[in-house]
Structure 1
């Protein structure tokens, strides 16, 4: 096997983050160095616990570091109405099998970037607070990362407000700092995640794998089917798994190299991502904005990885 991808998953579990953790833990192509948890979907006391609960479900002991308990600047927002008070819809998930690692999420990211200069991939599936703090502490981090893949933003609509996607709205200043840092970044926003959906037929295929991990993933994915009908989506979008699979299989996706920024002050538009791929302003591109996905291949890759828990994967 070729050298595995050294990776840190920075997340705020959260149901779709939980599926991303299961995928990262199962992928033989990934060397999962750590999982870092920030407040986001629910508070830090839940996200840092949930990361370890899902790793216990996966049968993996990976260092988990607690990160930011609130945004860098603005007011805190959560999504417990979607994810449940505990962040995992109250589903039966094992209790953590190991304690939190000593130290902070941002220091764990900085230390790993020095151990793996030019190789470390950071996948961010929650607010960008931990990465923002790491960059504020050491701006040279941007040049040491092989790349960042973030789930966040949208080119022309929101889901938490009419203008903003949740992960960006949860810490717009951190997202803007990251986009201005010079880091190599791909953004998997609602433009692509609403195309990377699981139908109920796909969910039944997951359930048929029969393992606790697959049944858990099927249950949390199922919870998103009805919610997303209002967006005209034909199934349950795989928001955070989309970013994880982009890091693993970018060939499944289409993208445009463009400039992106975040509105931090607007009364109605705080948290909106502004994308400039075609205007006369000719702004210097600073990200790869992911626009499309081969949905059938995306579903097959997700099922392939989750099948590994039962020894059915390749």
Structure 2
């Protein structure tokens, strides 16, 4: 477990990113030193505003939020309004943050954080990896200077935007390949584990039963997403982006296995696929990726609920 370690959260703030931010703000053993917005679940304009406003909701306007990439390195931006709504928060409009806007670029701000915190710093990437790839391209020396990256993205098997690809990786496969081949220690929370990290309808109702600003936000902002997941989870909620945050503080909740990972950037049908040698004796890639494969769901839900219900 990280004890008072510094983390930087890079996010395309949609509804589960918002839950991840709210959760991170209640974990006393981690110090959020910065947040950066990136394209993904919705437009950069929305993700930047949402990150700022969610932190304000958590009473953490002291955390600086930086504007990142508005689109992928090579292709047009893809968004997911069908899950996150037109504004990224399921149509909920939060009171606007009064925090000052940061003018510094994400790469410069992250490079400065790496210089300050060094091996104490973990980057948590909850969206497409465009901002992180740009950091590596602009400042390649950082690859050996910080602790590593916890990321939500990819899958050993299957996908959720194509039969092969998960949304965050598919949204910028070239950036993802730069990050996966950077040599930086990575911990990957792909669909194999995040689809296990769900709340049932009853669990979600218990979490949001109180009449508080946080409970009301969670209930209202996730309504569209819960409808999207209705066929498989019957009113429950899948909490993809919460996984890497929870793993920082509660690593025993997750099972991980070392692997090599390539990202497919050429295939017509397989674009964005994370190709893992997780279950193979043939190590076709440098093995520096810890791939999460399982989560203790009941313990995950109980711990997460306690954190979110600690808001008053």
> So what's the TM-score if we normalise by structure 1?
0.93
- The alpha-carbon distance between structure 1 residues 182 and 231, as it changes in their structure 2 partners (threshold 3 A), is farther
Shift of 1:25: 1.5
Aligned to 1:243: 244
CA contact (8 A) 1:203 1:222 kept: no
In the alignment, structure 2 segments of 5+ residues that lack a partner are none
CA contact (8 A) 2:8 2:122 kept: yes
Aligned to 1:15: 15
Aligned to 2:143: 142
Tell me how far apart the structure 1 counterparts of residues 257 and 109 of structure 2 sit (CA, whole Å): 31
CA contact (8 A) 1:37 1:48 kept: yes
CA contact (8 A) 2:90 2:223 kept: no
Deviates more, 1:181-190 or 1:205-214: 205-214
Aligned to 1:125: 126
CA contact (8 A) 1:165 1:272 kept: yes
Aligned to 2:292: 290
Residues 137-172 of structure 1 show CA distances to partners (whole Å, capped at 9, x for unaligned) of 112212112121100011111111121110001110
Moved over 6 A (4+): none
Aligned to 1:309, the other structure's residue is in SS state coil
Aligned to 1:224, the other structure's residue is in SS state helix
Aligned alpha-carbon RMSD (Å): 1.7
CA contact (8 A) 1:261 1:273 kept: yes
- Which one of 306, 309, 313 corresponds to residue 308 of structure 2? 306
Tell me how far apart the structure 1 counterparts of residues 96 and 177 of structure 2 sit (CA, whole Å): 36
Shift of 1:221: 4.2
- The alpha-carbon distance between structure 1 residues 218 and 5, as it changes in their structure 2 partners (threshold 3 A), is farther
Tell me how far apart the structure 1 counterparts of residues 79 and 17 of structure 2 sit (CA, whole Å): 14
Shift of 1:99: 2.9
Tell me how far apart the structure 2 counterparts of residues 174 and 165 of structure 1 sit (CA, whole Å): 14
> So what's the TM-score if we normalise by structure 2?
0.94
Aligned to 1:177: 178
May I ask how many residue pairs the two structures share in their alignment?
309
